[in-house]
Structure 1
């Protein structure tokens, strides 16, 4: 069963999670609304991320360089590399995200989604959740 998690301008459709794969992978489809972005650039200490473009264009910033990802294109983000993403386009963009090994599951995203309902969101609480799940936030200089 697919679990859908909405977080501001992002929507995740979780297809596989660490709980069901013996912590081998997390797999989810991400929909990014126009002008939406990830709230905090970060890196992962213990897993890699592979992203495959399905529709529209999501621009990833990986190690300081912008990498537009369109349909049929893929991007590998090695653990330890700072990254973020945004949708600069006028239309919705979708991509498939694979985390290996599986480390997050939907629980992390549920907690972040709950924090994003507060206005303004509690940045310190978001950073605490990120660190607890193995994401290391990197604040802009």
Structure 2
């Protein structure tokens, strides 16, 4: 079996992807973990409602660990607050989204197993958010990016 070499100088945490305090910073990617796990910090400013649609994914679990502030996740229609020291595992296929309903900025650790999503998804999604210049993002473009990266946008609530 060939020996795998890892370049220790490649550190995904050197890049923060985001806009106006809403950002992700990868700590591990598929490239750093033989595809087994990706992990990123999620920063969400106070009172921010997620501008992307709720979604699901069939190829990985997503576990959220609260570090600062309280993030409200809606998973299959049920609201769940995740604060410092609390964790939430979002199973494959569950429709979910999050909002920061509080007055404090949030920092959370997100762990994806296996590492089916990486920085490229967030680079593309934040490009659409930035292009919206504070207005609603292009839903069709956002949905196309999500599908290409294995996320299935949910139908808007009626």
Q: Give per-residue Cα distances to partners, 1:56-98, cap 9 Å, x unaligned.
A: 1000001101100010000010010000000011110111000
Normalised by the length of structure 1, the TM-score is 0.95
Following TM superposition, the consecutive aligned residue runs of length 4 or more in structure 1 with deviations greater than 3 angstroms are: none
Gaps of 5+ in 2: 1-10
Q: Which residue pairs with 1:122 in the alignment?
A: 138
Q: Give per-residue Cα distances to partners, 1:32-79, cap 9 Å, x unaligned.
A: 101112221000110000000001100000110110001000001001
User: In 1, Cα distance between the equivalents of 2:20 and 2:97?
Assistant: 16
Correspondence 1:136 to 2:148: no
Change (3 A) 1:93 1:82: same
How many aligned positions are there? 141
Larger Rg: 2
Q: Which residue pairs with 2:114 in the alignment?
A: 101
Q: How does 1:1-141 map to 2 (within 5 A)?
A: 1=11, 2=13, 3-7=15-19, 10-38=22-50, 39-119=52-132, 120=135, 121-138=137-154, 139-141=156-158
User: In 1, Cα distance between the equivalents of 2:157 and 2:22?
Assistant: 21
Return the structure number with greater relative CO, CA threshold 8 A, min gap 6.
1
Q: Give per-residue Cα distances to partners, 1:82-139, cap 9 Å, x unaligned.
A: 0000001111011100000001110000000111112242110110000010000012
Structure that is richer in strand per residue: 1
